[in-house]
Amino acid sequence: MAINALTFTGIVQGVERVIAMSPAQLIVAGWTGRDKAAVEKHIVELEALGVARPTSVPVYYQIAAARLTQNQQIECSGEQSSGEVEFALIKHDNKLWVGLASDHTDRHVETYNVTVSKQMCEKPIAKTLWAYEEIAPHWDQIIMRSFIQEKGARVLYQEGSVMNMLDPLELIAGFAPLESLPNGFVMLCGTFAAKGGIRPSADFEFEMEDPVLKRTMRHNYHIKTLKVEG
């Protein structure tokens, strides 16, 4: 079996197919909003945590592809990490697919090195993929949400339409021509501001809804905290 082999259910015109792949390259795009005011809000939100402003927008962080996981538990050092719901763009068999992932990030490390903070944490990804060509005509109607657990209650943490993000093809083109990217290429494509501010939770749940084709993909995971000795 290939290292870090992932298995998805790819859906095209209502028909399911098994997609087995090993990620060849992982890019995490940041500050990808179409609305400059919303981008500024997220930058300010992170500045409040000590994160320096980006030198350009969007930015493309190169992360080890092995960080992608479909496990429902990840292990993180300390209690200062948190998830972010993001749509994922995946190239497989020279075809573009849309998935759903969490850019789980160490918030303490993020204050002094964003790339390292993202590299430290696994990136949970859902087991469903949709063909991009099938949802491209109504792309802006796609909705993403995330939920956390607080005081024993399920709380809405993020919610918004992907119309708030740059168009998928524009995002990819900002990094490299699609045809030049290898099969197994994966890009996580940015997130929304958190309702009530960024904060940790032992459990993270996220979803993407297609109201036109009336379907939803979901994933959830638990964060196991590892003790920090020094």
6-25 confidence digits (pLDDT tens):
999 999 999 999 999 999 99
Q: Is residue 102 in a domain?
A: yes
Strands 6-12, 128-131: pairing is: parallel
Residue 1 in domain: no
pLDDT reading at 84 higher than 90: yes
pLDDT given for residue 37 in this prediction: 82
pLDDT on residue 3: 65
Domain carrying residue 14: 6-226
In a domain, 124, yes or no: yes
The backbone torsions φ and ψ at residue 97, rounded to the nearest 5 degrees and listed phi first, read -120, 155
Confidence band (pLDDT; 50, 70, 90) for 67?
Answer: very high
188 domain residue, yes or no: yes
102: amino acid identity, one letter: S
CA distance 20 to 4: 11
Residue 216 forms part of a structural domain: yes
Cα gap 108→116, rounded to integer Å: 11
**Is 215 inside any structural domain?**
yes
Predicted confidence at residue 32, as pLDDT, reads 92
Region 151-158 average pLDDT: 96
pLDDT, mean of residues 141-166: 96
- pLDDT tens digits, 190-219: 998 899 999 999 999 999 999 999 999 999
User: Is residue 137 helix, strand or coil?
Assistant: helix
Give the residue-averaged pLDDT of 136-147: 98
Q: What is the CATH number of the domain that holds 11?
A: 3.90.850.10
Residue-level pLDDT at 72: 96
The rounded distance, in Å, linking the Cα atoms of 69 and 26 is 12
Q: Is 161 part of any domain?
A: yes
- Contact 162/87 with Cβ under 8 angstroms? yes
* Residue type at 95 in one-letter notation: K
- Give the CA distances from residue 28 to residues 124, 186, 210, in Å, rounded to whole numbers and listed in that order: 13, 8, 23
Confidence band (pLDDT; 50, 70, 90) for 51?
confident
What total of structural domains would you count in the chain? Answer: 1
Residue at 53 is within a domain: yes
Q: pLDDT tens across 101-134, in order?
A: 999 999 999 888 989 999 999 999 999 999 999 9
Helix residue ranges per DSSP H, 141-228: 168-175
* pLDDT, average across residues 67-73: 97
